[in-house]
Amino acid sequence: MVDKLVPNDPRVQSKTATIRGKTYHYLLAEPSTSPPVDTVILLHGFPDLSFGWRYQVPALLALNLRVIIPDNLGYGGTDAPVEVEPYSLKSLSDDIAGLIAHVCGTGVSVIVGGHDWGAGLAWRLALWHPKIVRAIFNACVPYFPPREQYTPLKVIIGAGKLQNFKYQLQFQGTDVEKEIQGKEKIRQFLNAIFGGKAPDGSYGFTTDDGVVFDKIAELQQTPLVTPEELDYYTEQIARNGIHGPLNWYRTGEISYKEEIALLKKGLPGLRFNIPALFVAASKDGALPPAMAQGMDEHFDRLTKVEIDASHWVLWQGAEEFNQHLTNWLQQAVLKPGKPAL
User: Among all residues, which ones are annotated catalytic?
Assistant: 116, 311
CA distances from 51 to 57, 233, 313 (A): 9, 8, 14
Pick from 306, 315, 308, 309: which is nearest to 55 by CA?
A: 315
CA distances from 23 to 28, 50, 113, 115, 235 (A): 15, 15, 21, 22, 18
DSSP 101-142: HHHH-TT--EEEEEETHHHHHHHHHHHH-GGGEEEEEEES--
CA distances from 39 to 65, 80, 130, 279, 332 (A): 6, 26, 16, 20, 15
Pick from 96, 106, 98, 26: which is nearest to 66 by CA?
A: 26
Pick from 271, 254, 269, 54: which is nearest to 143 by CA?
A: 271
212 Ramachandran zone, left/alpha/beta (phi>0; psi -120 to 50): beta
Q: CA angle 149-273-46, nearest 5°?
A: 55
Per DSSP, 330 falls in state I
Q: What is the CA radius of gyration of the chain?
A: 19
The one-letter amino acid code at 35 reads P
The one-letter amino acid code at 212 reads V
| Alpha-carbon torsion, ordered 49, 55, 61, 65, to 10 deg | -60
Pick from 182, 215, 244: which is nearest to 47 by CA?
A: 244
Beta-bridge partners for 111: 40, 135
Beta-bridge partners for 112: 41, 136
